[in-house]
């Protein structure tokens, strides 16, 4: 592995990605133990859930992750909280409608426990979500921009996409996601390198483990400039799941590229 001069950041999205199994309805005691483990192991961010508009069918509170609900969780003060939004749930037929949709669900960050909002959007439709990023940035949030289905694009496309997103001036972390779990290290290396060279802020990677390559793909991404890495406890998530938090943390601890303490997640 190449020498890494900057320590990585780990974002654990167990409750958000794992919620697909149980409609985001987690037991309070389980969540309390989970947050304590996250705090003790020095994970950088917890993506506590989605921030979705109201649904017509039953969904647990972590599909909404409202500010009022989060305040009742008694989240440890030193645990940083993120939520994810699906851009398609907020994009309206006009900019005015889109702004109304997003501001109805988010207040200024100084009045919220949420520090970061991650916006999930299909790679080919990224431009439609920039208005959401701009609005949330004005409200004071750190912005992660998750490009879903980022695989098998041309180098020219990656470069132009980076330049366009860079011009918005609102994105703190540009993520690419292996949404279908089909990426291999060669492709991860190529995308990581291009994004790192053409985007001035941080790069992130969200792996899936369909081909049992989530760990090697993440390590390859780190070698090639990725700073933010997504994980879940035990790799829980849709389909084949994600990269296990305890797996990456142990590897990163051994390589001295993270200040985490894996023992708190391996008991």
Distance in angstroms (rounded) separating the CA atoms of residues 44 and 101:
29
* Structural contact between residues 177 and 206, judged by C-beta atoms closer than 8 angstroms: yes
How confident is the model at residue 149, as a pLDDT?
92
How confident is the model at residue 237, as a pLDDT?
87
Q: Report the SS3 class of residue 86.
A: strand
Query: Does the pLDDT at position 63 exceed 60?
Result: yes
Distance in angstroms (rounded) separating the CA atoms of residues 250 and 225:
20
How confident is the model at residue 95, as a pLDDT?
95
The total of other beta-carbon atoms located within 10 Å of residue 230's CB is 29
Which of 151, 144, 204 minimizes the C-alpha distance to 181? 151
Q: Dmax over Cα atoms in the chain, in whole Å?
A: 51
Computed over every residue of the chain, the mean pLDDT equals 94
Give the model confidence (pLDDT) of 145-180 as tens digits.
Answer: 999 998 988 999 999 999 999 999 999 999 999 988
Query: Does the pLDDT at position 135 exceed 70?
Result: yes
Pairwise pLDDT comparison (81 vs 267), residue with the higher score: 81
Give the model confidence (pLDDT) of 90-123 as tens digits.
Answer: 999 999 999 999 999 999 999 999 999 999 999 9
Distance in angstroms (rounded) separating the CA atoms of residues 220 and 2:
9
Q: What is the mean pLDDT of residues 53-76?
A: 95
pLDDT confidence bin for 193, thresholds 50/70/90? very high
pLDDT confidence bin for 4, thresholds 50/70/90? low
Q: What is the pTM of this model?
A: 0.95
How confident is the model at residue 3, as a pLDDT?
61
Give the model confidence (pLDDT) of 222-238 as tens digits.
Answer: 999 999 999 999 999 88
Distance in angstroms (rounded) separating the CA atoms of residues 122 and 162:
14
Query: Does the pLDDT at position 1 exceed 60?
Result: no
Give the model confidence (pLDDT) of 20-51 as tens digits.
Answer: 999 999 999 999 999 999 999 999 999 999 99
pLDDT > 90 fraction of the chain, expressed in percent and rounded: 87
pLDDT > 70 fraction of the chain, expressed in percent and rounded: 97
How confident is the model at residue 25, as a pLDDT?
96
């Amino acid at each position: 592995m190449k020498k890494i001069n900057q320590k990585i950041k780990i974002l654990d999205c167990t409750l958000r990605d794992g919620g697909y199994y149980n409609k985001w309805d987690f037991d309070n005691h389980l969540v309390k133990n989970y947050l304590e483990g996250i705090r003790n192991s020095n994970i950088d961010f917890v993506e506590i859930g989605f921030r979705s508009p109201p649904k017509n069918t039953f969904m647990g509170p972590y599909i909404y992750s409202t500010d009022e609900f989060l305040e009742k969780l008694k989240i440890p003060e030193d645990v940083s909280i993120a939520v994810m939004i699906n851009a398609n749930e907020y994009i309206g037929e006009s900019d005015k409608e889109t702004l109304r949709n997003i501001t109805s669900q988010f207040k200024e960050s100084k009045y919220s426990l949420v520090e970061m909002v991650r916006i999930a959007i299909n790679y080919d439709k990224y431009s439609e979500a920039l208005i959401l990023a701009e609005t949330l940035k004005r409200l004071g949030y750190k912005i992660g921009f998750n490009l879903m289905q980022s695989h098998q694009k041309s180098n020219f496309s990656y470069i132009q996409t980076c330049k366009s997103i860079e011009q918005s001036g609102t994105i703190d972390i540009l993520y690419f996601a292996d949404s279908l779990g089909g990426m291999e290290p060669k492709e991860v290396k190529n995308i990581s390198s291009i994004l790192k060279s053409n985007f001035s802020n941080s790069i992130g990677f969200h792996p899936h483990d369909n081909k049992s390559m989530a760990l090697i793909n993440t390590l390859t991404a780190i070698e090639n400039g990725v700073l933010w890495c997504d994980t879940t406890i035990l790799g829980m998530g849709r389909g084949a799941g994600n990269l296990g938090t305890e797996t990456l943390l142990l590897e990163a601890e051994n390589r001295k590229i993270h200040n985490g303490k894996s023992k708190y997640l391996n008991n």
